[in-house]
Amino acid sequence: MARRGNLYVISGPSGAGKGTLVARVLGRVPDCWVSVSATTRAPRPGEEDGVHYFFLSEERFEELVAQGGFLEWAQVHSAKYGTPLASVREHMDAGEQVILEIDVQGAFAVKEKIPECHLVFIDVPSIEELLARLRGRGTESEDVIAARMEVARVELSQKERYDYTVVNDDLERATEELAAYIERQAQSRS
Ligand code: 5GP
């Protein structure tokens, strides 16, 4: 059966393991493509421009907003993040499984513009586990972690509005579940 192009919007609290899950799904689903967002935040150690994000100045980001270059954009924590429109369109038109890894505000903005997209929430087993994961990452100060926990509580309250939820309790199991969900959508006909 022919596969059709789909758009998946993946969100969930910072520390839920979205990035790791998505990277693993890429290795299992052949025609998946992940959008690289633009951001005004500084790169973390090990992050590369054009790979993890396009790291832009405030000025350049605002220019792209004014030119209508983003499918959506949002202020998250203390920085701006946006989904470049042209590349998403290109890959959807090519019939690929396009993944956006963005926050909840962005997810609902995309759903409004592209109602047939699939909203997938990556959940944590518990709020205590989330705090432990954020601390374990060791990249952020306690102040930043506290702010992220606050945002996480708001994000968790939006979970019912998503089409599908994957609890990242075990990386291998959660990868299988997300890959299987994408495969099902890709194989169903519109
Ligand atoms: P981080 O700074 O930890 O990489 O990401 C912080 C938050 O920004 C995460 O919740 C992530 O999903 C979100 N985010 C990343 N890219 C985008 C984007 O293009 N648009 C929106 N709305 N959120 C994004």
Q: What is the pLDDT of residues 122-162, one digit of tens each?
A: 999 999 998 998 888 888 889 989 998 998 999 999 999 99
Q: Specify the pLDDT at position 82.
A: 97
pTM of the predicted model, to two decimals? Answer: 0.90
Angle in degrees, CA 174, 18, 140, rounded to 5: 130
Helix (H, G, I), strand (E, B) or coil at 167: strand
Which SS3 state, helix, strand or coil, does residue 129 take?
helix
Amino acid at 78: S
Cα(8)–Cα(123) distance, rounded to whole angstroms? 16
Please report which confidence band the pLDDT of residue 2 belongs to, taking 50, 70 and 90 as the band edges.
low
Is pLDDT at 78 greater than 60 in this prediction? yes
Q: How far apart are CA 147 and CA 155, in angstroms?
A: 13
Query: Per mean pLDDT, which range of 9-18, 45-54, 57-66, 117-126 is the poorest?
Result: 9-18
Residue owning tokens 């909203």: 119
38-39 sheet: strands from edge to edge: 54-55, 38-39, 79-84, 70-76
Q: Taking the alpha carbons of 34, 98, 79, 20 in that order, is the dihedral positive or negative?
A: negative
Please state the rounded mean pLDDT for residues 44-56. 96
Residue nearest to atom 19 of ligand 1 (CA): 82
- What spacing in Å lies between the alpha carbon of 31 and ligand 1's midpoint? 23
CA distance 183 to 190: 14
Q: How far is the CA of 159 from the centre of ligand 1 (A)?
A: 16
| Alpha-carbon torsion (99, 114, 55, 152), positive or negative | negative
Ligand 1 center–CA 38 separation, angstroms: 9
Residue 189 clears pLDDT 70, i.e. is over it: no
- Determine whether the shortest distance from the Cβ of 103 to ligand 1 is under 6 A: yes
